[in-house]
Structure 1
Amino acid sequence: MTGVKKRPAALFIALIGIIILFDLTLARSQLFVEDMELLSIAIALDFVIVIPLLLYFIHVRRQRKNMIAVAPFALLGFLALLLILPSPAHHLLQLVALVIIPFELAYVVYIGYKASRIFRSYKANLMQLHYPVAALRKSMTDEIGSNRWTALLIHELTMLYYAFFSWRKKQAVAPHTAAFSYHKESNWLIIVLFACKLLVLEGVLFHIVLAQWSHLVAWLFTIGNVYLILLLIADFRAMVLNPIAVSKHTIKLQYGLQMSCEPKLENIESISTIKFEKLTNEQLKTSLAPLATEANVLLTLKEPIVATALFGSQKSVRHIYLFLDQPQHFVTECQQHMQVDQR
Structure 2
Amino acid sequence: MTFPRRFITPRIVAFLLLTVLLIWIEMSVARTVTFSQQPIVLSIGVLFDLVFVTTGVFYWLVAKPLRLASSRLIFVALLMLRVALFILPQTSLLPNQIWPFLVVFSEGLVLLIAGLNIRTIVRTYRNLRLTTDAETALRGSLTTVFGKKATELIIGEGLVLYYLLLGWRLRSDIPVDAQPLTTHRQSGQIALVIGILMVGVVEGSAVHLLLARWHPMMAFWITLLSGYGMLFFVADIIATVKRPSYITANQLHLRLGVRWRATIPRSTIATSSLISEKPTKQIGQLNGSFLTIPNVLLTFNEPICFLGPYGISKEVCQFAFFVDDPVAFVRLVAEDS
Change (3 A) 1:108 1:181: closer
CA contact (8 A) 2:252 2:265 kept: yes
> Per the alignment, do residues 126 and 185 of structure 1 end up closer, same or farther by CA in structure 2, a change over 3 Å counting?
farther
CA distance in 1, matches of 2:179, 2:220: 46
Give the root-mean-square deviation of aligned CA atoms: 3.5
> Would you say the 8 A contact 1:304–1:317 is kept in 2?
yes
Relative to structure 1, the CA distance from residue 153 to residue 324 in structure 2 (aligned partners, 3 Å threshold; closer, same or farther) is: same
Amino acid at match of 2:128: N
Change (3 A) 1:115 1:64: closer
- 1:1-343 paired onto structure 2 within 5 Å: 48=50, 67-73=72-78, 76-77=81-82, 80=85, 83-84=88-89, 110-129=113-132, 131-147=133-149, 149-280=150-281, 282-283=282-283, 285-336=284-335, 338=336
Query: Could you tell me how far apart the structure 2 residues matched to 1:192 and 1:86 are?
Result: 44
Structure 2: runs of 5+ lacking an equivalent: 1-26, 36-45, 59-67, 93-107
The sequence identity of aligned pairs, in percent, is: 24
Residue 225 of structure 1, CA deviation: 1.3
Q: Report the Cα offset of residue 323 of structure 1.
A: 0.7
User: Quick check: 1:288–1:317 contact (8 Å CA) kept in 2?
Assistant: no
Distance (whole Å) between structure 1 residues aligned to residue 238 and residue 112 of structure 2: 33
Change (3 A) 1:86 1:224: closer
Deviation at 1:327, TM superposition (A): 1.2
State the Cα distance separating 1:241 from its structure 2 match: 1.4
Q: Which amino acid aligns with 2:85?
A: A
How many Å apart are 1:134 and its aligned residue?
Answer: 2.2
For normalisation by structure 1, the TM-score amounts to 0.68
Distance of 1:199 and 1:169 partners within structure 2: 27
Does the Cα contact within 8 Å between 1:48 and 1:77 map onto a contact in 2? no
CA contact (8 A) 2:256 2:288 kept: no
Tell me, which stretches of 5 or more residues in structure 1 are unaligned? 1-25, 37-43, 57-62, 88-104
SS, match of residue 320 in structure 2: strand
Equivalent residues of 1:68, 1:107 under 8 A apart: no
Instruction: Say whether the 8 Å CA contact 1:304–1:316 is kept in structure 2.
Output: yes
Seen in structure 2, the aligned counterparts of structure 1 residues 204 and 268 have a Cα distance that, compared at 3 Å, is same
Contact 2:303 2:316 in 1 (8 A): yes
Number of matched pairs: 269
Residue 292 of structure 1: how far off its partner (Å): 2.1
Provide the rounded CA distance (Å) in 1 between the counterparts of 2:208 and 2:88: 27
CA contact (8 A) 1:258 1:291 kept: no
Give TM-score, length-normalised by structure 2.
Answer: 0.69
The residue identity in structure 2 corresponding to 1:122 is Y
SS of the residue aligned with 2:214?
A: coil
Give yes or no for contact 2:287–2:294 (8 Å, CA) kept in 1: no
Is the 1:271–1:331 Cα contact (8 Å) retained in structure 2?
yes
Asked if the contact 2:71/2:147 (under 8 Å) is kept, the reply is no
Describe the shift of the 1:108–1:133 C-alpha distance in structure 2 as closer, same or farther (beyond 3 A): closer
By how many angstroms is 1:73 displaced?
A: 2.3
Instruction: Measure the CA separation in 2 of the matches of 1:115 and 1:218.
Output: 38
**Does the C-alpha gap of structure 1 residues 78 and 243 become closer, same or farther in structure 2, counting only changes over 3 Å?**
same
